[in-house]
Structures are given as C-alpha cells and as structure tokens.
Chain A
Amino acid sequence: MMSTKGYKPESGLAAEIEVEAYRRLFPLQYYECHLAESVRPDSRALGRARDTTIALGPVPSADGSALVKIGDTTVLAAIKLEVMTPSIDSPDVGSVAVDFQMPPICSPVVRPGRPAEAAPVIAKQLSDVIMSSGMINLKELSLISGKAAWMAYLDIYCLNADGSLFDAALLSATAAFSHLQIPLVSLNDDGKLITVSEEVKDKAAVEPVNKENRKLTIAVVPFSLTCIVHGKYILADPTSEEESVMDTHVTVVLDSKERLVSLYKAGGAVLLHTSVVKDCIVLAKQRVEELSEILRESLSAMEVD
C-alpha cells in the first residue's frame, strides 16, 4: 500500500483502496486530506504558484511574441502590426484587438468543431484589463495624425490548458508587448505607407516616418493571480484538476503600483468574505513581485543576446 505522507485514510473504504483510485473516486475528499496538512498533491504549499518561465520572441514572423509557461499551462502570444486609418473621432490613437484561442489540442474538455465556451470570455477580460490598466499608451501607436496609425493584433493561443489560463494569457500579453519591435515605415511617392526592410534602408533615399520610438513604453504592468477558495483554505494558481474539483475561483489583477485592476469572482460554492478578499490580495501582491522579477530577467536576457 503506497501511503504518501499527509494522506490519512478516514473511513474503512478509504483505507482499503489505492491512492490513485481514491483520487479518482473521491476527488474532493482526496484534496481535503491534503489541505488539512497544508500541502497540495503536487507538493506545493497552498499559497505558492507553480514555476513560471517566459521566452521572448518564439515567433520570428510576428512583430512581438512570447511563450509563457506556468507549470504545465502553456500560452503563446504574438502581435502583428498593420497600418490602418484612424477614426475621425480619435485621429491620433492606434488600437489593439485581442483574441484568445483555445484549440482542441489544449485540453480534453475542448472538442474539435465546437469552440470553447471560456475563450471569448477570457478574450473580453484580457482586452478590458489591457485597456483599462493603461499599460499601453495608444497615442504611441499613431504614425501620422488623422492619416495612419498602427492596429495591433494580439493573438493568444493556449497550447496546454492546465488551470489559471487568464494569468498565463495576461502574462504572455504583457511579455509580447514588452518584446514588440515596431517596424520602420516610410511614405512612398503615392503618399502610401510602406514598410522599410533593413537592407533597403541603407541605400535608398527613403526617410522613415518613425525613426525613433520603435518600442512601446509600458508604464504600468498588470499581473494576475487566480485563487481557489475552499472553506478556510486559499489555493493560489490552481491546476485544471483543482479547478474542476473546487469551484470558487477568484482572479485578482494588480498592477506594478499595487492598484487593483480587476477582482473577478463569478458565483461559486463559497461566499467571499472581506477577510478572504484581503488574503487573496496579499497573495496577489507577492505574485506581482515574483512575476515582475521574472519578466525583468527575461527582458534583460534578451537585450544581452
């Protein structure tokens, strides 16, 4: 009998069957046995997030891209810039279109041919958070006032959905925006904007429109942490198994200035009391520090290359 540490059979049946069978048959009890010992089945402490890595620039054809892994959750974000004519109401701002895709390969729950229910909701939340946090100054995406501005298509693909999708998606979006390199454009004789490739630039007499200002300044960076509240326990950064067993999810988005960008909880079995809200925010603050350190390291590593 493989009796792991912290696993205490309560009843006669639980003592007799194997751990893996118990996990399948009584998932909630299995988790409660662990939680009582302040540990999770993947040997994390309750408030600890999984290992997080950011790889910048995995898609060379895009203008900016990032691959983020939080534990097994893998998310790929890529930004493509296109020139568009800004609307008359706002002549000197560009715009950002956010899309979140969950292909069938990412999770056994998503079936081919039927789009995942969560995908449009996550896309909407992402664009809300990106726009309302003031992370990007849309005026920087302007090229010629009233004539041309950048339209940034941010496409995020979930490659492996193992919980905390929104956290990974937001992190990949911010990383992709930090990696974004705005291409050089110049006006041709017809008054149209054309992109200037690096080789042509040296010989031809074309004057690029945007010589300076090839990177976006990211003033504040929003980071998010999803927690599961189960009774008196708060589990940070849940896996998909934990998300399916316990259904009270709280997503806290804080920016680098410790302001609250979003606190999202929709239904769930447990009511959220003010003290629990505060605990979640404290966990999110710690996570913001962790994540900004990880992001800074990956950005400085890129500059060295």
Chain B
Amino acid sequence: MDVDVRADGRTLNQLRPLTCSRNLLNRAHGDTTVLAAVFGPKAGTKKGENPEKASIEVIWKPKTGQIGRREKEYEMILRQTLQSICLLTVHPNTTTSIIVQVIGDNGALLSCAINASCVALVDAGIPLKHLAVAICCGLTVGGHVILDPTVLEEQKLKAVLHLVFPNPPLSIHHKTQSLMKDEPIEHGIITSVTQGVMSVPDYEHCLERGRIACTKISEFVRRNLQSLAREGLAKAT
C-alpha cells in the first residue's frame, strides 16, 4: 500500500461518510453500523459497586453468535470510557445500562460503538462532562497512517489503534477549565487501545493524526446534536 489511493478510492486521510440518526439510535461509519440504546438511570447498583456514584453497565450484542472474549473486552473498554465522561455523582446509587447491538462490521467497530454510545447518552439526557470522540487509525507496513480502516485493510495493517479524545465543552466562561497550562483539554487521551507492533514515534504520529481527524468527527457530532435539539424544541412548543 505505497500508493496514495486505497481500495475503495479514498485517500489515506479520508474517513468514510458518517451518518447518525437519533431516537432510532443508529450511528454508522460507512457500512460499520452500530445501534446503541440507553436505559436509565435505574434505581440501585450492583453488589460491590460504589453506591455514592452512578454505575454504568454495558451489554454488547454481537451481530451473530455468542458473546466471546473480544466482546467482553469491548464491553469493559466501553464501560470504562463512558464512566470517565459521565458525571457519576449526579445520580448516586443508580445504574445506567447501554446496550450496543452490532448491525454491520466493516472495520473500526470499537470506535463506532464508542461514538454511538456517546450520542445515545446525550439523547438519554445523562449528564456528561464532555463528549468523547473515537477514531480508528491503522499503520501500514510502509509506515503510513491511514484513518478509519475497513476489515480488509485491517488484516493487511501492521498495527491498529483505537483512540478516544475528549470534545472540549463549549463554555461561556473564558478559558478556566484547562488543567495543564501548555496542553489544552482536547490533547488528552481518554482511551488508547492498540494491537500490533510499532515504534514509539509511529504511535505519536498516529496520535497526532487521530487528534486532527477527531476535530472533524467532533464537528459532525455537535452539528448533528444541535440540529436534533432544535427539532426537539420545535416539537415541544
């Protein structure tokens, strides 16, 4: 893959067209489709969870077959990612369940599921600190970074990375939230899951590229949520 065009005619940097419909919560990266549903907050938490905080439960439904190790891993990654963006102290001693049904898998499945669940949480009105935006990056044998790979591309890649970045909250207050002086909030990584061997500079390169691509996805999600919020307002009045 040393040419600049991929099998489906995209350039290395190009994402597949994103679609997102709420209420019928369905969010797609091209032909990878995931349906995310949120129930909650329901009263009570599971045994062993901290009752002073809300607990989050993720149930992953694969497209076919039984739930295996891969699905268990995804469940845990998804739960920990969503836990970190939710304001858990707002509804103490409650459980919010997120059910993720995979409809089509053509690469970047975990990223798609994270984006879908994040939008579903917004739709359900669960209080969040900020949005999380996930991107899947791939590293080719030649050392190029490609974004949002398909299953066919994933098999040929040297390494596949799922990265989740925060979408900075729009604040009326002027810049007070930035904790680190020199690094803005959107430079922080919420989740990083990698598979395959790469060099450390390659990883940093992927981070950079992923972060830039995430601003695009952020814009898309924000625009989508805002237009739907307006629709909702129009219906209510």
Do chains A and B interact in one complex?
yes
User: Which residues of A come within 8 Å of B, CB atoms?
Assistant: 109, 117-118, 120-121, 123-125, 128, 132-134, 255, 258-275, 277, 281
Q: Which of chain A's residues have a CB closer than 8 A to the CB of B187?
A: 273-274
Partner of B48, one of A109, A123, A259, A260: A109
Q: Which of chain B's residues have a CB closer than 8 A to the CB of A258?
A: 199-200
Are A260 and B194 in contact (CB-based, < 8 A)? yes
Bound form: Cα–Cα A118–B77 in Å: 11
User: Which residues of B come within 8 Å of A, CB atoms?
Assistant: 48, 69-70, 72-73, 76-77, 79-85, 159, 166, 180, 183, 185, 187-200, 202-204, 207
Are B191 and A267 in contact (CB-based, < 8 A)? yes
Known: A121-B76, A260-B203, A267-B83. A274 touches B195 (CB 8 A): no
Shortest CB distance A300–B (Å):
27
Are A267 and B81 in contact (CB-based, < 8 A)? yes
Bound form: Cα–Cα A269–B183 in Å: 17
Bound form: Cα–Cα A120–B190 in Å: 22
Are B69 and A123 in contact (CB-based, < 8 A)? yes
Number of A-B contacts (CB under 8 A): 97
Bound form: Cα–Cα A275–B179 in Å: 14
Q: Which of chain A's residues have a CB closer than 8 A to the CB of B183?
A: 273-275
Partner of A271, one of B77, B188, B204: B188
Q: Nearest chain-A residue to B207 (Cβ)? A: A274
Q: Which of chain A's residues have a CB closer than 8 A to the CB of B199?
A: 258-260
Shortest CB distance A277–B (Å):
7
Bound form: Cα–Cα A269–B87 in Å: 11
Are A267 and B197 in contact (CB-based, < 8 A)? no
Q: Which of chain B's residues have a CB closer than 8 A to the CB of A267?
A: 77, 79-85, 190-191
Shortest CB distance A108–B (Å):
10
Given contacts A124-B72, A262-B195, A267-B84, 18 further A-B contacts (CB under 8 A): A121-B73, A124-B69, A132-B159, A134-B197, A255-B197, A259-B199, A259-B200, A260-B200, A261-B197, A266-B76, A267-B77, A267-B79, A267-B81, A267-B191, A268-B84, A273-B187, A273-B189, A281-B200
